[in-house]
Structure formats: structure tokens, C-alpha cells
Homo-oligomer: A and B are copies of this chain.
């Protein structure tokens, strides 16, 4: 099961009652963070999942509201006692940007591994058990949307093990260790497992226009966390000019991508009452909910 927490729901600048948009995912005690604006470490502190076990931080893009909290968070992760490497993932320029920010955090007790995206299209990055898919978004600067996948192996197939002639007492060992040697032959786990089962999937799209490739990319996600910079449909010209989305556009994206649930986020500082625009979005996609700071959910593997 995958725990997800929307750490903040603001866009552009941190506000007194609204942290900047970021997503924290937790799987078997290991964490992955997407985006890290000014104050992200404070809302994380309020959440209480700790700092030490963040194995990966992904950035959608390098506008300040999505990365300005990084140097402080890196220092805090170091103070929490981390010594294992930390992987950073983001568009081209990642190392240049992070090394600039690290002029105020030059000494860390852990190594940083940079994974800059080289292509526009998906070629998943694996960090621990997190499979990180990405897709080029449509914003003012190079920007990516993410889909976090947790894969699930197929079921053990006793008939396959029997057909291989593997003694029963080695079945458990093989599943636990991944391979086993018997009678001079190596047996791999894949040889006794059925087809992989459905994954857990959660998608995160901000800052972007609702372009069609995103619809394909997030298809069928259990949860879509998507920007809704503006509530009012009258702000469509502004949304287009600044490459953001209306609530209604996010709801339509969720509908056509057939996701199970939509959480809106990345509200404009001027959008003081997102509640006012929820019903209209629900008329387009009933499973629309408003994101709130530290709103969280646990996703389970789908029934197969």
C-alpha cells in the first residue's frame, strides 16, 4: 500500500494559510517527494512522517515555488541523520540549478545522485520500489508531469514449480531470495510466478495546460493530483496565457483519462475560496475533491 500526502495546495508564493504544492509518497517506510517549494519542510514537520527516509525528490520544473525549499530541506534531512544517497529527478538543468542552491548547503552527510530527464517521453526511473514515469507537460518552461507506480508481481504458480521438478521445501526460499540453486541448476523467481498484477498508480500534473498526451499518460490512475490554478471559467484566457488550468479543465482531463479520483491543487493566491468552484467541477467529473494541505490517502493494489 502507498501512502500519499498532498503537503500543500498553493501556487506562485507561499501563503500564511496555504503551503506550496508538493506531494509526499511513502511505501514500506521509504519516501519520495515531488516538488519542494519554500516551506515544504514545515508542512512535512506538521505531518510527522520524518525526514531521514526520503530517498528521492522529483521536480516538475524550476520555478521558485516548486524548488525554493530544497536547500533547507537538504540541511534538515542531513540533520535527521541521513547518510544514504538521495536521488534528485528533474528536467535538464537539474544539476546546474541544485548546485546553485547548494551554495548555502555545501556540506551534506549524504551523496546526491542527479537523474536529469533526457527525453520528452517516458522511460521510467526506478528508485527503490518506486517506479517513476514522466511526461512532458505544457508550461512556460520545460516541465514534467509524474506518475508514481508501485508494481506487483504475479502470484506464485505451484504447477510451474512442480513442472520444473523443484522440491516443495525450496518454493518459499525461491520466492524470498529471488533465486535458488538446486541440483546444479539456477532457478529464478520469474520461472514460478504468474503474470504481473495491476499496479498502484498515482499521477501528479502541475504546472501545465491539459494537453492530450497527458490524458494518455495518466490514463486510469487511482488518483490524479492536478493543478486548478483558477476556479472561474472566465479566466480561461489567463490560464492559456500563463499555461495553467481551470478547475473545469482539470475535471475534464480527469474524466477523459478515466482516473478514479481527482484532487485539485496549486490554487492561485487570489483564489481564497476554492469551495465556490467545486460543484461545477463535480458536474464534469463527480469524483473531484478539493486538495487541502496535508490531505492524505492510502492506495491499495487494485483487485485483479
Which residues of A approach B to under 8 Å, CB–CB? Answer: 12-16, 37-39, 41-42, 45-46, 62-65, 67-69, 71-72, 75-76, 79, 96-97, 99-105
Contacts and interface: CB of A to CB of B under 8 A. Distances in A.
Contact of A100 (B13, B14, B67, B100): B100
Contacts of A41: 13-14, 38
| Copies per complex of this chain | 2
A45 B64 CA distance: 17
Nearest to A13: B76
Contact of A104 (B45, B72, B101, B104): B101
Contacts of A75: 13, 64
B16 A42 contact: yes
Contacts of A104: 62-64, 67-68, 97, 100-101
Contacts of A71: 64, 68
Contacts of A96: 103
B68 A39 contact: no
Given A13-B41, A15-B45, 12 more contacts: A12-B79, A13-B76, A14-B41, A14-B42, A15-B42, A38-B69, A39-B42, A63-B104, A68-B69, A68-B71, A97-B103, A97-B104
